[in-house]
Structure 1
């Protein structure tokens, strides 16, 4: 299968299906749900990390890359999952987390044992920049990590700082060390030889750090997560990815996507260019920031996005990569709030229609569609009444910073921000049925359930031919049978530089003989729009309403016409 063709489904294993009653999703649970995924029609499943981990950051802190997390099962369970997936024509994509390890990984345990240990250079160590009046060592620069006040942690035993762009329990690997790179390639071969067909590469554009380690002026201006932006797209990152491709990826039939914070389309073409021999596509986050407030508290707000901003960003990525690189298409993942709550309308009146409209809007663009678990059910954001009910490290760090320490945000307001923007919105357990604990577990779920599971669940959706689930199934079938969805050019049907329509997102996908006209109403109001492309040849290909009103756009209506170019 060419990498442009599959539809990929992301599973967050901890929250997908528990098989043994401990309240935590696991590999046998995923295996039991393969028939459900086969019915949906997806081609590939991306597993968020399942490796051995102490779970400081829900599996993104890995202590052994060749073993399975105890809570998730065993390597034998993984082999069984692979076998059942293969029987159902579903491939497996692993999450490759190699910017950092856990501080409990054997490499780091050895590295911090002494300065002359052979593993010392597997990580990034620096002397103190000096000492303050009470003898406290000062970090090498002012970088702020994503999860802690400083990106540098003092190691008392060896009297040096180590770099961690994320939690202090996630020390960054030193990719300038060729032995480290070979260790990573060996890990990749281990899983590829087991039959894995793809890698999603966690924050892969952060692996090459500037050896000068300059101070970040944004820190003095109140910037946050500065280390991520200072490290992004570093001086040797393309050299390393080309080496990875040459030594590993080019020797397997594999799909690759890199998570790349702080990339422009120009950067993305270096990572995904068809002539670059690096990655096949990237996850960019520009459209995930359309409701951010850089003048306030960044992602922590409950403001609604503006459609003109969303159209400008998505159109830029469609146009700038056209014919030269490849897009990934997604509305949500394990780090983002639920799409229907964020970009649609999750009220009972409009949830189903707006979820279907969002699916149309995304799946007809050029790129590889990613479906996050529960998206095909229209799962929504959750509201918990106290911060203790949330598990996410990022949420608790933000609460400490903004509520407890600075007191910049009142507790009740911060809870509304978390409900709108927090990562745990995506991590509440999968809603399989209206039974106790939503059919996720017979025990106590590791994270609270969304109370809407009694109305929103897979059992109900599969039984209802008009459900969001079956709408996604039809979209996937269309993608498999409509090459134009993959190959057609993209044209936004208003001015890309200054999109004037604040209510309707309409675009054209054009091929040699025919075109697809995609029209999506992002409001809960009835609108009137005319499109010159609609002629007697127009055939309604798919719609989220049972009939067609042509020039009338009903609330959250999404529809696609097939039009002859002859």
Structure 2
């Protein structure tokens, strides 16, 4: 998904089905209407391939690099990997502009490398989910080359065109365009084509059934290889109101209403389910299911046969930092979604991905004093809430924002185009760069920090994006040796989640609702009850949960000792998981 979307979109969806379910082993007696499923119990680990591990010294992560680190990935206890795009692409948007959906980008390797990756992942019991980018293609895709060649070409209607003789097309805002105009004039046929994102990412015309069935055929190509599903990028925009109504004042405050979830989106998803999903045991993730839990439920209600897991963005649409947004409002978001999905449908939970800054820098505290402890607290949150957790590579180490000083350090089309647009308008470029230090998505794309060798062990060459200078102290090798590291704490959390079904299926109850510093809740299932206490502040904080935990047991916490801390007080960024008696 493209970066600005994260500021507008509140929902997305996921469908998992598979053969050997963890649920069969757990034999969970449910107290709610949700049936046990392996995909509800899974932990999904997201890998940004360009930044994970480089095997050949060209500075770009690749498939062989991932293969070489699969034992590490397996050691985390995760069940599935979501892999960002690896298809052939000119890389205008780091792979989200695809020029051939059935080839591997040379930077990442070959199809033989991919086949080996899939085999080695399955050998370790890890499922592979690939990114699917079909709201748009690259302008270098053969479909678009043909489409723009003449008005009567058979591929012309694969994209949205507006003939210039009709006058200027209806205004649409482009997320990535310097001029913020989603219609790009193309002199070859005296017409404009639509691009909601970069001008090198023309939008496909999903109203054309030939486009839809081309996509379905391509999906089957990969599924027949044995992959375990797709994460569908920006799919909420696939259906458009092609009457092109005028956008009302203030449209940008509810972009999904005017840009996404068009009149036929549900029809397309139901058709996709019939033609593809129903024929395979797969997992699919699709962005953008409306702006409320009620909207999301339309996509994930099992009776509708579309998708069945909501992946909402409201929890990361909070501005620069959680402390500015406020914890009380933040708790309300999660509680509202949990209430809506408590009897049917399913949620996911995440605090980071490739379109976000680093988790600890946005939701915690990445100063040397608190980086490690607040990272552990945030991981505790992700692993103890109801919903399938998505965990971004490097967060298990507490990797944080790199905070580039110069525009030359950025490779991202979003940041660079915003900078150019602001420069053209005579804006404050220094203020913009300061803001990007906190909000740019490239903060979350720096190379994985494996060890203390040159370039953090990511590459023997020059990395495509600079390595965070703190890799000398924040790296996987050092944390493997430390039983109290953030890495090993994460492993303990994953193990606990798998051991205790209450953290997957248990009822969620918010406590101490108006507390501005403490997030407290219980998870209970079949008579077993756990209390989770999280201090989101950098100071000691009191809590009032309405009952005593004096005789209960702390089964996991991020502080080595609570010596000298009286009851009902949490230390800065402290996390406690308590089994209640």
TM over 0.5, yes or no?
Answer: yes
- Correspondence for 2:570: 553
CA distance in 1, matches of 2:419, 2:257: 22
Alignment TM-score, normalising by the size of structure 2:
0.89
- Correspondence for 1:539: 553
CA distance in 1, matches of 2:117, 2:394: 20
Q: After superposition, give the CA deviation of every residue in 1:518-564 in whole Å (9 maximum; x if it has no partner).
A: 11001111123243344566332211112455422111101111225
Which of 295, 303, 306 does residue 278 from structure 1 map onto?
306
Alignment of 1:45-84 (within 5 A): 45-84=81-120
Cα gap change, 1:93 to 1:476, in 2 (>3 Å): same
CA distance in 2, matches of 1:436, 1:225: 45
Q: After superposition, give the CA deviation of every residue in 1:231-274 in whole Å (9 maximum; x if it has no partner).
A: 21111111111111111112222122211175321111111223
CA distance in 1, matches of 2:551, 2:281: 40
Q: Using the TM superposition, name which of 120-129 and 373-382 deviates more.
A: 120-129
Where 2:508 maps in the other structure, the secondary structure is strand
Where 1:283 maps in the other structure, the secondary structure is coil
* 1:172 equivalenced with 2:172 (yes/no): no
* 1:263 equivalenced with 2:291 (yes/no): yes
Cα gap change, 1:413 to 1:303, in 2 (>3 Å): farther
- Correspondence for 1:296: none
CA distance in 2, matches of 1:438, 1:369: 27
- Correspondence for 2:395: 375
Which of 509, 512, 520 does residue 506 from structure 1 map onto?
520
Where 2:579 maps in the other structure, the secondary structure is strand
* 1:143 equivalenced with 2:151 (yes/no): no
CA distance in 1, matches of 2:526, 2:256: 43
CA distance in 2, matches of 1:85, 1:427: 23
Q: Do 2:501 and 2:525's aligned partners in 1 also have CA atoms closer than 8 Å? A: no
CA distance in 1, matches of 2:498, 2:257: 38
Which of 54, 67, 72 does residue 18 from structure 1 map onto?
54
CA distance in 2, matches of 1:339, 1:47: 19
Where 2:310 maps in the other structure, the secondary structure is strand
* 1:362 equivalenced with 2:382 (yes/no): yes
CA distance in 1, matches of 2:499, 2:254: 45
| Alignment gaps of 5+ in structure 2 | 1-20, 22-37
Q: Using the TM superposition, name which of 426-435 and 152-161 deviates more.
A: 152-161
CA distance in 1, matches of 2:554, 2:373: 17
Which of 519, 531, 535 does residue 521 from structure 1 map onto?
535
CA distance in 2, matches of 1:434, 1:44: 28
Cα gap change, 1:376 to 1:302, in 2 (>3 Å): closer
Q: Do 1:304 and 1:342's aligned partners in 2 also have CA atoms closer than 8 Å? A: no
Give the CA deviation at 1:122: 1.2
- Correspondence for 2:242: 211
CA distance in 2, matches of 1:533, 1:247: 53
Alignment of 1:280-319 (within 5 A): 280-291=308-319, 304-319=324-339
- Correspondence for 1:101: 137
CA distance in 1, matches of 2:183, 2:310: 28
Alignment of 1:380-399 (within 5 A): 380-399=400-419
- Correspondence for 1:110: 146
Q: Do 2:97 and 2:200's aligned partners in 1 also have CA atoms closer than 8 Å? A: yes
Which of 42, 49, 64 does residue 6 from structure 1 map onto?
42
Q: Do 1:151 and 1:227's aligned partners in 2 also have CA atoms closer than 8 Å? A: no
CA distance in 2, matches of 1:226, 1:524: 34
Give the CA deviation at 1:406: 2.7
Q: Using the TM superposition, name which of 23-32 and 261-270 deviates more.
A: 261-270
* CA RMSD, Structure 1 to Structure 2 (Å): 1.9
Q: After superposition, give the CA deviation of every residue in 1:306-365 in whole Å (9 maximum; x if it has no partner).
A: 112211212212221222221111111000000101110111111111001111112111
- Correspondence for 2:424: 405
Q: Do 2:289 and 2:295's aligned partners in 1 also have CA atoms closer than 8 Å? A: no
* 1:427 equivalenced with 2:445 (yes/no): yes
Q: Using the TM superposition, name which of 555-564 and 5-14 deviates more.
A: 555-564
CA distance in 1, matches of 2:254, 2:384: 35
CA distance in 2, matches of 1:154, 1:225: 27
Q: Using the TM superposition, name which of 150-159 and 531-540 deviates more.
A: 531-540
Q: Using the TM superposition, name which of 345-354 and 536-545 deviates more.
A: 536-545
CA distance in 1, matches of 2:285, 2:291: 14
Tell me how many residue pairs correspond in the alignment.
540
Give the CA deviation at 1:17: 0.6
CA distance in 2, matches of 1:234, 1:270: 14
Q: Do 2:515 and 2:543's aligned partners in 1 also have CA atoms closer than 8 Å? A: no
Q: After superposition, give the CA deviation of every residue in 1:61-106 in whole Å (9 maximum; x if it has no partner).
A: 0011110001000100001111111121111000011111111111
Give the CA deviation at 1:446: 0.6
CA distance in 1, matches of 2:510, 2:303: 27
CA distance in 2, matches of 1:103, 1:406: 28
Alignment of 1:24-39 (within 5 A): 24-39=60-75
CA distance in 1, matches of 2:289, 2:420: 24
- Correspondence for 2:5: none
Where 1:355 maps in the other structure, the secondary structure is helix
Which of 504, 524, 536 does residue 486 from structure 1 map onto?
504
CA distance in 2, matches of 1:471, 1:109: 51
- Correspondence for 2:264: 236
CA distance in 2, matches of 1:328, 1:11: 17
Where 2:176 maps in the other structure, the secondary structure is coil
Q: Comparing both chains, which one has the higher relative contact order based on Cα–Cα distances under 8 Å and sequence gaps of 6 or more?
A: 2
| Alignment gaps of 5+ in structure 1 | 132-137, 293-300
Q: Do 2:508 and 2:523's aligned partners in 1 also have CA atoms closer than 8 Å? A: yes
